[in-house]
Chain A
C-alpha cells in the first residue's frame, strides 16, 4: 500500500514509518500541514494517517475538509492526543474515517489502517467465506465444511466482524467497538473469553485452525494458517 503520514513529532513519525515499511508499505511523510496538504492533493494514496494538530497554516481537520470538498475519498485515519468523545466526533464529522488516540500501540494503528483500506474495496456480498467456513448473512446460517455451526446472536456478530476482516489483524479494541459498541477498556480479559468460546465452536477438536491469536496485537481469521 502507498500511505501518507502527516505528523510533526519526529519520534512518533520515525516509529510509525519504520513499522509501516517493515509491514511492506510505501510511506510519504510530511511534518507540517502545508506540505501534507500539498502531498495529499497531488498524489494518489491508499490511505492517509494524519495528526490533528499540525504546524504550518493548516491543521489536520483543515486538510480533511479540503480533501473531502475536492471529492477525494481516500480513507483517513486521525491521530490525536485529544481523547474527548466530542473531539472524536468532530474529527469523524470533518470526514475522517477512524480516530486513534495517542499514545497508541503500533499493532492497533496497523490493524485499523488495514481495516480502513480493505473496507473501501469490500463488495456487498450476502455470503462470507474463509476457507471452508461459510456465513450466509440472509439466513444467518454458518457452516464449517458440511457441519452446521450453531451460534448465539452476539457470537454471530463477532464471527461476522472477523470474517469481514479476514486475513487482517483485528485488535481487542476494534472488536469492542465493532461488535459490542463499547468504548472502554474492560479490566478483565472478557474479549479473549468470547473469542475462545467462538473458536471452540468453529474449530472443535481436530479441525484445521482458522482463528489465530496474534501476540501483542489481537486476532486474525485466516484460511492460510
Chain B
C-alpha cells in the first residue's frame, strides 16, 4: 500500500475528492444553518402567540378556568406534539400533558431548548416558560423531534453524496494511474533497452498528439541526436585510430630501424628530419581535431562581431592569388554588395581558405569565389572545374577524416570540409556541396546579421587586434 499515495495520479484524485467534499460542505452548511434558524423562529413565534392567548385567559378568567381550558386542550389533543403544563407556586402540575415540572427546566422565564420526558419517552423540546401573577407557572412547548427524520435524511444524503464522490475519485484516480502506468511502463522499457545499448529503439508514439506523445516525440528527437553523436564519436575514433596510427607506425619503424642499423651520421640526420616531419603530421591532426572540438562546443559564439563577408573573401582571394598564378589557375572573385554576418572573422577566413585550398588541390583551370546576399541568406561559394564529388560521396565528405577516392595519395588530413561544416553550424548556417558541371561548387550559407547598421568599418579587424595585439606589425 505504500505505493498508492506515491502515485501522482492517485494523489491528484484524492485532492479532487477532498475538494469536492469541501464544496459540498460549503453548500450544505449554510443551508442547514439557515433552515434550522428559520424553523426555530417560526416555532418560537407560534409558541409566544399560544402563551399570549393562555395568559389572556388567566388574566380574564383566573387560574381555574385556565386549568380547565388546558385540560380540555390536552384531552382534544388538537395540537400534535405540543407540550403544555400549568403549575402552581411550588411547581406542582395543575393541568397539562406532562406528569411533572421538568427538573432541569430553568427558573428564568424565556425560551429554552431542553430534553424532557413525556409519557415515558425522552424528547427534544422547545419550551417557553412564563410566570403568571400569583406565582403560577406556565410552560408551553413543542416537540422538535418531529423534524428529526428530515434532518437525518439530509445528513444521510450529504454522507451518501460524499461517499459517491470519494468512490468516483478513487476509482478515477486508479484508472488514470493504471493508464499512465502502462504508458510510463512502455517508455521505461524502451529507455532501459536504450540504456542496455540498443540505440535503434524509440519511444512509442500513439499519434493522439497528447502531452505524453509530445514528450515522446521530443525524447525521440533527442535520441536521434544522441545516436548521431554516438555514431559520430565511433567513426571519429576509428578514423583517428587509422589516421594517427599510420604516421605513428612510420615514425616507429623509422626510429627502430635507426637503432638497429646504426647508419652513418648523414643518414641519421636525414632520418631524424623525416621523423620530425612525421611528428608534425600527428600534431597537425591533433590541432585540427582540437579546433573542430572547440568550434563544436559553440563557446566562440560569444566573440561574434559584424563581419563584412565581401572584404573577408577579398582578403582570402588575395592571399591565394600568387599560388593560383603559380599553378596556372585563374582565381576570380565576384562579390556583390556588402553582405554582413555576425561571426568570428578568423574562423570564417579559415573556412573559406579551406574551400579555396580544396579547389586548388583538386580543381583545374579556374576557380571562382562568389559572394551574394539576399534577404534571408549570405552566400560564399567556391566553384572549381575539377573532378567534383560523386553524389553518393557528397554527404560523407563533411564527415571527419573522410577522404574521397579522388584525394587518395594527396597530402591532407581529411578534416578540411568537416571544419568548414562545423564553422557553418557555429554561425547558424550550413555547407552545401553541388555539382558545378563539371567540378564542385561548395557554398557556405550563413544567416545575415540582423542589424547591418551596427557594422563599423574595420570592425572585423578590431576583433583580430583584440586576439593578438602584440603580433601585429606596428
For window 182-223 of A, CB contacts with B under 8 Å fall at: 182-190, 193-194, 197, 216
For window 102-139 of A, CB contacts with B under 8 Å fall at: 103, 116, 119
With contact pairs A92-B470, A178-B472, A188-B323 given, residues A154 and B349 touching in the complex (Cβ less than 8 Å)? no
Q: Per-residue 0/1 for B309-342: is the Cβ within 8 Å of any A Cβ (1 yes, 0 no)?
A: 0000001001110110010000000000000000
Cβ-based interface call for A160 (8 A): yes
With contact pairs A83-B287, A164-B473 given, residues A184 and B353 touching in the complex (Cβ less than 8 Å)? yes
CB distance from B328 to the nearest CB of A (A): 13
Query: Which among B279, B315, B357, B416 is the interface contact of A180 at CB below 8 angstroms?
Result: B315
| CB–CB A84/B294 < 8 A | yes
| CB–CB B322/A178 < 8 A | no
Q: Per-residue 0/1 for B10-49: is the Cβ within 8 Å of any A Cβ (1 yes, 0 no)?
A: 0000000000000000000000000000000000000000
Cβ-based interface call for B1 (8 A): no
Cβ-based interface call for B461 (8 A): yes
| A157 CB contacts on chain B under 8 angstroms | 473
CB distance from B207 to the nearest CB of A (A): 46
With contact pairs A84-B294, A180-B319, A193-B322 given, residues A187 and B357 touching in the complex (Cβ less than 8 Å)? yes
| CB–CB A183/B346 < 8 A | yes
For window 401-426 of B, CB contacts with A under 8 Å fall at: 411-412, 416
For window 57-82 of A, CB contacts with B under 8 Å fall at: none
With contact pairs A85-B294, A98-B470 given, residues A187 and B412 touching in the complex (Cβ less than 8 Å)? yes
| B349 CB contacts on chain A under 8 angstroms | 181-182, 184
| A98 CB contacts on chain B under 8 angstroms | 470-471
CB distance from B279 to the nearest CB of A (A): 8
Cβ-based interface call for A86 (8 A): yes
Cβ-based interface call for B468 (8 A): yes
Cβ-based interface call for B436 (8 A): no
Q: Per-residue 0/1 for B284-314: is the Cβ within 8 Å of any A Cβ (1 yes, 0 no)?
A: 1001001100100001100100000000000
What is the bound-complex CA distance between A178 and B360, given in angstroms? 24
Using C-beta atoms within 8 Å of the partner chain, give the interface range for chain A: 35 or more
Cβ-based interface call for B469 (8 A): yes
| CB–CB A103/B473 < 8 A | no
Chain B residue, CB-CB nearest to A154: B318
Number of residue pairs A-B, CB distance < 8 angstroms: 88
| CB–CB A89/B467 < 8 A | yes
Cβ-based interface call for A177 (8 A): yes
With contact pairs A183-B346, A187-B412, A188-B360 given, residues A88 and B471 touching in the complex (Cβ less than 8 Å)? no
Q: Per-residue 0/1 for A144-172: is the Cβ within 8 Å of any B Cβ (1 yes, 0 no)?
A: 00000000001001001100100000000
| CB–CB A86/B473 < 8 A | no
Query: Which among A179, A190, A216 is the interface contact of B320 at CB below 8 angstroms?
Result: A190
What is the bound-complex CA distance between A89 and B471, given in angstroms? 13
| CB–CB A83/B290 < 8 A | yes
| A154 CB contacts on chain B under 8 angstroms | 318-319
| B411 CB contacts on chain A under 8 angstroms | 187
Chain A residue, CB-CB nearest to B412: A187
| CB–CB A190/B299 < 8 A | no
Q: Per-residue 0/1 for B346-358: is the Cβ within 8 Å of any A Cβ (1 yes, 0 no)?
A: 1001100100010
18 interchain pairs (CB within 8 A)? A84-B290, A85-B303, A86-B300, A88-B467, A89-B467, A92-B470, A97-B470, A99-B468, A103-B279, A103-B283, A116-B470, A181-B349, A181-B461, A185-B287, A187-B411, A187-B412, A190-B319, A197-B322
Chain B contacts to A: CB under 8 angstroms: 273, 279, 283-284, 287, 290-291, 294, 299-300, 303, 315, 318-320, 322-323, 326, 346, 349-350, 353, 357, 360-361, 411-412, 416, 461, 464, 466-473
